[in-house]
Structure 1
Amino acid sequence: MSKYRASVLLIALLFATLLAAIHSPGQISVDSGIALYEGIVGRAVGWGPTFFAAVLAWLGGGILGASIFVALNCLVTYGLLAALLTVGVSAGKVPVWRMCIAVLLAANPLFMFYVGIIWKDVMLASTAASAVGLLLFSLRMERRSALLALFASTICIAMLPLLRQQGILLAVPLAVMCAWVIARRFEGSMGVRAGLMVASLVLTLTMSAALSKAAALRVTSLPASPVSVGFLTIRAYDIVGMVAYAEPGDSSAWTGASPVAIQKMKTGYSPQRIDTLWHDADVRGYINSMSAEQSAQVWRNGIKQDPQAYLTHRARAFEALIGAGPMTGCVPAYWGVAAVPEHLSALGVAEEMDPRDRFIGGEVKLFEPTMVFRHWWYAALLLIATVLLLRGSHSTERWILRVAALVAWLYLGSFVPTTIACDFRYLYPVSFLSTLICIYMLVHPQGRQAVKGEVATSAQ
């Protein structure tokens, strides 16, 4: 087994090194360029959270920060996958077929593509997966090392709500789970353990607030909050969708839009993404003419007028996101450099696609029709794991996995009413978490090893 572990670690290190070299300084899209530019100028130019931009700035900013981000993401991703395949695995006790499936899941080309993309969704996925992995690995450590792992998990959890608004759905259950694991590492009365849990939750909240403050000092946010702008965008897409799926003969007068704008909404709407209509002057003018209060009122009126149209629109948009239908308008991954010229000028790079980018793009196109870029596949893995977890033991290990499955479901479900585009990256955290859970369950089939280790270490 020592040879197996050495081989896995060596292969993981080789993968991380090669992928960092292939991707560096990273695949830069418009969103990537905005984040990198914000880190350079120290102020927000987009409406999203600025924490990711601050992280890139803390890593050195510009192309240096992007390169270091890619290198760290490669190490974290493949280090975590290697740990999942080796930590606590006993020779001869795991059937070969289980190990083969686990290795195949870890070797998913999806991770090879995504470790090099400068996106907050990528950091959110790596951070959430790291938090879960550290919780699981802490059960097999002696107390001092376990507390260090749990502290690192707390830092990861504290960052989740700062990367994307839905990160709060991951952070709260994981923070409670982490607090519970910390309390179980100490002997004492229920009161003492409850106090430790409260202290852990306060620490997580304090860390999150401190990181948010530090990010705000590094990159100043715009006056409009990301949450308020996000709601406006979602409502705009819903209004267009309700017009598109209205009953025949419905004039959609509840919108207050001109007949020209209504007709363009009907003909130009796509369940795959909002921006197919965003460039139309009539539709954009109508949406921009409404205040936040007016937008909310029109949105409510539309749902009251035809709730079926709203539900149909939301169902079609979510189907596109999970890859249940054609994905012609969806972005599976990203390769090359293409951003706002002003941002690229500040970064000192040109818009281009070099031979490495063309190679990556060719491989993406090869895998695009497969399950690699279909979220329904990862949801199916998550469903199978969830069913098995419900039948498992009540060890701390199993509860960590159950919470991991819960947060993946919460994150997936949050996009049912909020998705505005079917790009694969939005649910990448679900893909990573579902893969992590399945790998761990495959190589630890009995769910008893962690319990024995937990009892042994708690007595130290």
Structure 2
Amino acid sequence: MQLYEATLGKSVTWNPPHMTAILRWLGTGPDAAGRLMSLNVVLTYLSLAVSGAALLATRGGERRAVVSRCVAILLILLNPILFLFVGIVWKDIVFSTFMTLGAGCGILACVTDGRRAVLFALASTVVLAIGMKVRQQGIFMAPVLLAVPFVALAVGRGLRRTQVVARGVGLVACFLLSLVLGSHLVARTIETDPKLGNQVGFRGLMQYDVAGITALSKTPSDRFPVPMTDALRTEVRRVYSPDRGDFLWYSPTVTQWLSLPGYDGIRGHWWTLVRAEPRAYLQHRWEVFRAILNADGVKACLPIHVGIDGDHRYLREIGFQPGLDRYDQDIYHFSQKIIRWPIYRHWVYLAAFAVVSGLILASAMRPRVKRASMAIALATLLLYASYLPTSIACDFRYLFPAVCLVSLLWIVYVADARGRPRLGRWYVGTDSSRR
């Protein structure tokens, strides 16, 4: 739909307009899609590979150790999930590109000096500001990741406190200026309807929660906190699934029930049920979170997207011919061969995130690199945590940014850690290191 919106120059859905504007800047129709896909691929892989190469190039050490670390980094880059998803034209992928590129530029600033460090830090700041509004999670992730370029310019540079504060203020000013200018350009590029604001997204989330609580609560219908009949409840339980909220709309009865109250009505139902049925609400939210982590597999989670697909009427109007070619079919068949592998489960990446975060905390690393890694880890943790109260489907691409950031953390650890981790003692860094 955002390709269609880019051609129109107008939002017709509640998606944030920033990706739509980027598509319009890149052209329209198939050209824009191709250019955006190329940018995602190039910038994502470059962010990961160049970060690892820069860390290795500036750390020194025995040649044998460097070779083994290069092999480990290459194995991370060869993860098929990166290859399968980075080419999808979707806002989660674009958001992932911006967050990974911003963090990667920050890492480069950590291991360089002088003007190059400043330029990389400014690039990181601008990229994070632009990417902040591509997806809602950017609102809290980008400010946390802004700590990466700040650490790069402030830690271990021999600066006085006033100079550190000045650099921090400068980066924040650059971030805010980039954010304002970017939003202004987006507003001039894409016309948005105020009716398509955040209320639409909040309403969908609350409708899903209301249905989930209704389906899972053990309170009899005649004593339920909102008006309820046994027949309606049976229908809600039939179509409710923790995998996807859109299954609810397959039932005209449930659709009518959730739609009639309007925004204020559904908000009132939601608040009443959350207070009266906290156990059912928490069970619903936990089951939905398990689904997005693919605890029971990825069957209902759109595990792969190939070819040209969507609303065929809109696609043809902007110059696309829906369908698959031989290359698309090959990618699909490859995905089916690995779909049961652990790398196709987000809980595996969450576990990998927990492990690498502990290793970074317990290992000797260059102070700037270590503190920057902690900021990246915090932003990644916030991304995971954000889906606990807000997920409405288990689409695999939702957590693709986490896959990229976890990969970056592992690359940073492999390239920069020195010696064995010492559990029970958290290292800040190695005092003998220049950076």
Common fold by TM > 0.5: yes
Query: Which residue of the partner structure matches residue 416 of structure 1?
Result: 388
> Residues 183, 356 of structure 1: CA spacing in aligned structure 2 closer, same or farther, 3 A cutoff?
same
1:86-97 aligned within 5 A: 86-89=53-56, 90=60, 91-92=62-63, 94=65
**Aligned in 2, Cα 1:450/1:234: closer, same or farther, shift over 3 Å?**
farther
Cα contact 2:9–2:191 (8 A) shared by 1? yes
Aligned partners of 1:232, 1:347: CA distance in 2, in Å?
30
C-alpha displacement of 1:391:
2.2
Q: What is the alpha-carbon distance in structure 2 between the residues aligned to residue 308 and residue 296 of structure 1?
A: 19
Alpha-carbon shift at residue 159 of structure 1 (Å): 2.0
- Deviation string 1:326-369 (CA, Å, 9 cap, x unpaired) is 33211112111111133212221122111111111111111211
Is 1:425 aligned with 2:381?
Answer: no
Pair 1:274 & 2:241 matched: no
CA contact 1:246–1:252 (8 Å) conserved in 2:
no
Residue 453 (structure 1) shift = 4.1
Q: 1:225 to 1:189 in 2, by over 3 A?
A: farther
Q: CA deviation at 1:142?
A: 3.0
State which drifts further: 125-134 or 243-252. Answer: 243-252
Cα RMSD for the two superposed structures: 2.1
For normalisation by structure 1, the TM-score amounts to: 0.86
SS in 2 for 1:229: helix
d(CA) in 1 for partners of 2:83, 2:222:
49
Confirm whether residue 218 of structure 1 aligns to residue 222 of structure 2.
no
Aligned 1:359-438 pairs, distance under 5 A: 359-393=330-364, 395-438=367-410
Q: Give the distance between the partners of 1:414 and 1:307, measured in 2 at CA.
A: 19
Give the CA deviation at 1:185: 8.1
- Name the CA shift for 1:250/1:94 in 2 (closer, same or farther; >3 Å): farther
- The answer on whether the counterparts of 1:165 and 1:227 sit within 8 Å (CA) in structure 2 is no
Compared CA separation, residues 249 and 261, structure 1 to 2 (3 A): closer
2:423 aligns to what?
none
Structure 1 window deviating more from structure 2 (348-357 vs 187-196): it is 187-196
Query: What displacement does 1:61 show?
Result: 1.8
Deviation at 1:93, TM superposition (A): 6.0
Seen in structure 2, the aligned counterparts of structure 1 residues 225 and 395 have a Cα distance that, compared at 3 Å, is farther
Indicate if the aligned counterparts of 1:381 and 1:435 stay in contact, CA closer than 8 A: no
In the alignment, what sits opposite 2:422? Answer: none
Q: In structure 1, what is the Cα distance between the partners aligned to 2:276 and 2:110?
A: 54
The alignment status of 1:83 with 2:54, answered yes or no, reads no
Aligned counterparts, 1:258-297, within 5 A? 259-297=230-268
The correspondence for 2:27, drawn from 60, 65, 84, is: 60
Q: Distance in 2 between matches of 1:83 and 1:147?
A: 17
Tell me the equivalent position of 1:302: 273
Q: Are the aligned partners of 2:95 and 2:401 in contact in 1 as well (CA < 8 Å)?
A: yes
| 1:324 counterpart letter in structure 2 | A
Which of 128, 147, 163 does residue 192 from structure 1 map onto? Answer: 163
Counterparts of residues 306-385 of structure 1 (less than 5 Å)? 306-385=277-356
Deviation per residue, 1:396-424 (Å, 9 max, x gap): 11000001000000010000011110111
Residue of structure 1 equivalent to 2:226: 255
2:31 is matched by which residue type in structure 1? L
Query: Is contact 1:54–1:218 with CA below 8 Å preserved after alignment?
Result: yes
Deviation digits for residues 222-241 of structure 1 (CA, Å, limit 9, x no counterpart): 21354222111111111111
Mapped to 2, the partners of 1:219 and 1:245 lie a distance apart of: 42
Greater shift, 221-230 or 40-49, is seen at: 221-230
8 Å CA contact 2:141–2:383 kept in 1: the answer is: yes
The letter of the residue matching 1:272 is: D
Residue equivalent to 1:70: 37
Q: Is residue 142 from structure 1 mapped to residue 109 from structure 2 by the alignment?
A: no
1:160/1:170 contact within 8 Å kept:
no
Give 1:112 shift.
0.8
Alignment of 1:452 onto 2:403: no
Percent of aligned pairs with the same amino acid: 26
d(CA) in 1 for partners of 2:265, 2:130: 34
2:212 is aligned with 1:245? no
Unaligned runs of 5+ residues in structure 2 are 420-428
1:148-159 correspondence to structure 2 within 5 Å: 148-159=119-130
2:425 counterpart residue number: none
**Equivalent in 411, 414, 417 of residue 439 of structure 1:** 411
Contact 2:122 2:149 in 1 (8 A): no
Alpha-carbon contact 2:4-2:29 (below 8 Å) kept: yes
Residue 178 of structure 1: CA displacement? 2.2
SS at match of 2:356: helix
Q: Which residue is 2:133 aligned to?
A: 162
Report the residue type matching 1:372 in the other structure: I
Q: Measured at CA, do residues 78 and 188 of structure 1 come closer, stay the same or move farther in structure 2, by a change above 3 Å?
A: closer
Which amino acid in structure 2 is aligned with residue 421 of structure 1? A
Name the SS for the 2:120 alignment partner.
Answer: helix
| Structure 1: distance between partners of 2:11 and 2:227 | 33
| Secondary structure at the counterpart of residue 63 of structure 2 | coil
TM-aligned CA distance change 1:131 to 1:283, over 3 Å: same
Gap regions ≥5 residues in structure 1? 1-33, 455-460
Structure 2 residue 100 is the aligned partner of structure 1 residue 129: yes
What is the letter of the counterpart of residue 179 of structure 2? S
